[in-house]
């Protein structure tokens, strides 16, 4: 079992920035880690993902150019740098992880095996 701990959420005004962190208890080169979010009354959606082997990243269209997913040198922590935040970015943000042979399904909800408890991001206008 992989334990994930998120941090870095909070309240910010529109146009501001936040950086979320997700620390994993265990990873290896075939690890996929991703961020998802769920706003009240809406379904959970994928935000960004990173497949460690090759550092392959994906982004939802709604966050491209504003959010950046990255990993630290220890490869146990993944960050989500969120810039130019909008009120519609308000949601509970969840970190997820999975071990995948080729990363083709990295970032797909059903492919993620481990989930964190979530961290709230609130963007006011």
Task: Please name which of 22, 10, 15 lies closest in space to residue 83, comparing C-alpha atoms.
Answer: 15
State how far the Cα of 102 lies from the Cα of 66, in Å rounded to an integer.
Answer: 27
Joined tokens for residue 114: 């481990």
Name the 3-class secondary structure at 89.
Answer: helix
pLDDT digits 0-9 by tens, 54-108: 999 999 999 999 999 999 988 899 999 999 999 999 999 999 999 998 889 999 9
- b or e along 23-34 (b: 16 or more beta carbons within 10 Å of the residue's beta carbon)? bbeebeeebbbb
Are the C-beta atoms of residues 49 and 68 closer than 8 Å to each other? no
pLDDT digits 0-9 by tens, 24-63: 999 999 999 999 999 999 999 999 999 999 999 999 999 9
Tell me what pLDDT residue 6 has. 96
- Tokens 């701990």 map to which residue? 5
Are the C-beta atoms of residues 37 and 91 closer than 8 Å to each other? yes
């Amino acid at each position: 079992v992989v334990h994930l701990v998120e941090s870095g959420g909070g309240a910010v005004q529109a146009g501001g920035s936040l950086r979320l962190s997700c620390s994993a208890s265990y990873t290896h080169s075939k690890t996929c880690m991703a961020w998802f979010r769920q706003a009240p009354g809406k379904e959970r959606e994928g935000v960004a993902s990173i497949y460690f082997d090759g550092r392959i990243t994906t982004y939802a269209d709604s966050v491209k150019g504003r959010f950046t997913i990255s990993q630290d040198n220890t490869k146990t922590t993944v960050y989500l740098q969120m810039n130019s935040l909008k009120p519609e970015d308000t949601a509970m943000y969840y970190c997820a992880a999975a071990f995948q042979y080729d990363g083709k399904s990295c970032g797909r909800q059903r492919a993620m095996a481990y989930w964190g408890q979530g961290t709230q991001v609130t963007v006011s206008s």
